[in-house]
Amino acid sequence: MSQQKYKITLCYEGTKYRGWQRLKQTPETIQGKIESVLSRIFDMPIQIDGASRTDAGVHARAQVASFTAEKRSCEQLKQELNRFLPDDIAIVAVEHVASDFHARFHAKKKTYHYRIWKADYPPVFQRKFVTVLGGELSIERMQEAIPLLVGKRDFKSFCTDKTKKSTIRDLESIEINETPEEIIIAFTGTGFLYNMVRIIVGTLIEIGLGQRDIQSIEAIFKSNTRQLAGETAPANGLCLEKIYYEM
């Protein structure tokens, strides 16, 4: 059988999973679940590469992954995957792509949304996807802080990863939108460090609650240390919304 590179687009509710990346000590990862089903379908070990290694409890509306296996119908493979995957993971699309395509290395930028519940009643239906705060946020103060965060900068102070790799990232934009019930913070950038979005959200929340001065952001960047930034916001409010590729 000839070999084919596949690109899959998928969504998942990350509540009960230990994150995207496969772990030896537990089968409860998104990557692990998909690889297990693919290996069953193709009757051989299959490994996939994901575009973003989402953390434990983080959701995705449009994650992308790639892998190589014997050539077969994309529609048939999509149906088989959805038949055997758990009901909190769904394959949205399956495509044949060029043999050199890599879901992570060819991604140009990503968008994440962080949702904060602001209504004066509990989020019964949205409770797994939003963070509930105990105070009222000043959107104006948060908006004022955004120019100090965007751009190509060293985000070492806004991550908990101790990697020796470069911590310079290009954060293209942060947008804050409101609905009657929620505050939605959208982040778009070329790439994100471990917990980077959640730490920035935690810092913005502290600014919005009046617990932190806006100008402290510059001091955080200069410090090159995680300790000066805000608390890491809860994972359940974060969702990977889109991965961008060149057409």
Q: What are the residue numbers of the active site?
A: 55
Cβ neighbour number for residue 212 with a 10 Å cutoff: 20
Quote the CA–CA distance of 117 and 148 in Å, as a whole number: 25
Gap between the Cα atoms of 88 and 167, Å rounded: 32
Beta-carbon contacts of 55 under 8 Å, excluding residues fewer than 6 positions away, are: 19, 20, 194, 195, 198, 235, 238
Query: Beta strands 238-244 and 59-70: pairing type?
Result: parallel
Kindly state the DSSP code that residue 126 receives in the 8-state scheme: T
CA-CA distance, 200 to 223, in Å (whole number)? Answer: 15
Distances 179 to 14, 83, 182, 185, 202 between C-alpha atoms, Å: 24, 35, 5, 11, 20
| 205 touches 234 (CB < 8 A) | no
